[in-house]
């Protein structure tokens, strides 16, 4: 049974912010709105994530280790009654 990676879920809001920032930067540069599917925006987002990815993962892993939350259930167990 595979475990869900809690770090991955904490990375999502950071990646969403990177996308918003790159959309804003490119819109400012061009002087008009830009689609999130724009190739320049995608390339910039990938560059940022590749540049900070390792440090981001290490930081979030440390946060989880110092402040552990509830254990994550595998998808097949979500919604099942565990009181047996």
Q: Find all residues with CB under 8 Å of 26, minimum gap 6, and list them.
A: 34, 38, 40, 41, 44
Task: Tell me which H or E stretch contains 4.
Answer: none
Once rounded to an integer, what is the mean pLDDT over residues 15-19?
94
Once rounded to an integer, what is the mean pLDDT over residues 11-19?
92
0.75 exceeded by pTM:
no
All structural domains of the chain with their residue ranges: 6-67
Residue 11 has pLDDT above 70, yes or no: yes
How high is the pLDDT of residue 74?
57
Once rounded to an integer, what is the mean pLDDT over residues 67-83?
57
Once rounded to an integer, what is the mean pLDDT over residues 18-27?
96
Residue 29 has pLDDT above 90, yes or no: yes
Structure tokens at 61: 């892993």
Helices within 1-84 (DSSP H only): 6-30, 39-66
């Amino acid at each position: 049974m595979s475990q869900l990676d809690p770090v991955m879920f904490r990375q999502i809001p950071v990646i969403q912010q990177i996308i918003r920032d790159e959309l804003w930067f490119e819109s400012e540069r061009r002087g008009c709105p830009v689609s999130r599917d724009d190739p320049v925006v995608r390339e910039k987002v990938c560059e940022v994530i590749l540049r900070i990815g390792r440090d981001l993962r290490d930081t979030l892993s440390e946060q989880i280790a110092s402040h552990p939350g509830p254990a994550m259930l595998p998808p097949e167990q979500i919604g099942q009654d565990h009181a047996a």
